[in-house]
Amino acid sequence: EPEVTQTPSHQVTQMGQEVILRCVPISNHLYFYWYRQILGQKVEFLVSFYNNEISEKSEIFDDQFSVERPDGSNFTLKIRSTKLEDSAMYFCASSDLGSYNEQFFGPGTRLTVL
Amino acid sequence: EDKVVQSPLSLVVHEGDTVTLNCSYEVTNFRSLLWYKQEKKAPTFLFMLTSSGIEKKSGRLSSILDKKELFSILNITATQTGDSAVYLCAVLSGNTPLVFGKGTRLSVIA
């Protein structure tokens, strides 16, 4: 069964460093999303991406964040200068019919900022 | 602001019990409500509900939506230890992606 994959599973970084989280969405999906879940809190939407551009973003997704689809398979989230409060689990998701349809989630990347 | 509220926040039951998890929402331009099960990491999809009063069923799990009263319930019958997880409710409204509730942590004791 096709699935969304994410790497790395765990990333530890120093405050102020840049990190890139990688996702490979399901191959025939066209809509991609990033969510985050701070420990003990609810899953929060960050950004959605379609046709090589951001279609929607939340207020969390400030200038420190960027997304890219560098090739036909990968979808990345970059945090330019990490802060302690960026420590969270980051989930990538994809869907075939936009947000009106089921979104399949990847296993997540746990980001720890020291 | 769109809001999704789940109750209870946590629940401990014995194997074989039946549980009902609740999700209420306040959103503009409701489109659908989704239930996910989150064990160790990624939420896995359970149900998507769009129409009121139509029960969706998968094995021992079932769910129904009430668009008039703005809530949904997720029922699990004959619970097993493998049902232990956080159950997430999320709502699609307008063109915005999913808005999640805080989840209900279910623990099933043998």
B10 CB-side CA count, 13 A: 3
- State the virtual CA torsion across A20, A105, A54, A100 in degrees, nearest 10: 180
Beta partners for B72? B23, B65
Long-range contacts of A67-71 (CB under 8 A, 24+ apart): A67/A32, A67/A34, A69/A32
> If you average pLDDT over residues B28-57, what whole number do you get?
89
Asked which of A6-20, A70-84, B3-17, B40-54 is least confident by mean pLDDT, the reply is: B40-54
> If you average pLDDT over residues B75-87, what whole number do you get?
97
Cβ separation A42–B101 shorter than 8 A: yes
Distance from CA of B45 to the nearest CA of A (A): 7
Mean residue pLDDT of chain B comes to 92
How many C-beta atoms surround the C-beta of residue B77 within 10 A? 13
**Within an 8 Å CB–CB cutoff, is residue A27 touching chain B?**
no
> Could you give the C-alpha distances from A85 to A15, A89, A112, B50, in angstroms and in order?
10, 12, 9, 36
Residue of A nearest to B48 (CA): A102
- B93 CA to centre of own chain: 16
Mutate to test the interface with B, among A103, A104, A111 (most CBs of B within 10 A): A103
Top-confidence range, A50-54, B42-46, B73-77: B73-77
Task: Provide, as residue numbers in chain A, all residues whose Cβ is less than 8 Å from the Cβ of B36.
Answer: 105
Distance from CA of A18 to the nearest CA of B (A): 24
SS3 B81: helix
Cβ separation B42–A43 shorter than 8 A: no
Model pLDDT, residue B54:
87
Model pLDDT, residue A40:
85
Residue of B nearest to A103 (CA): B45
Model pLDDT, residue A70:
86
Model pLDDT, residue A87:
97
- Does the structure show a pLDDT above 90 at B42? no
Distance from CA of A70 to the nearest CA of B (A): 23
Residues of chain A below pLDDT 50: none
d(CA B21, CA B7): 6
What is the DSSP code string of A3-37?
Answer: --EEE-SEEEE-TT--EEEEEE--TT--EEEEEEE
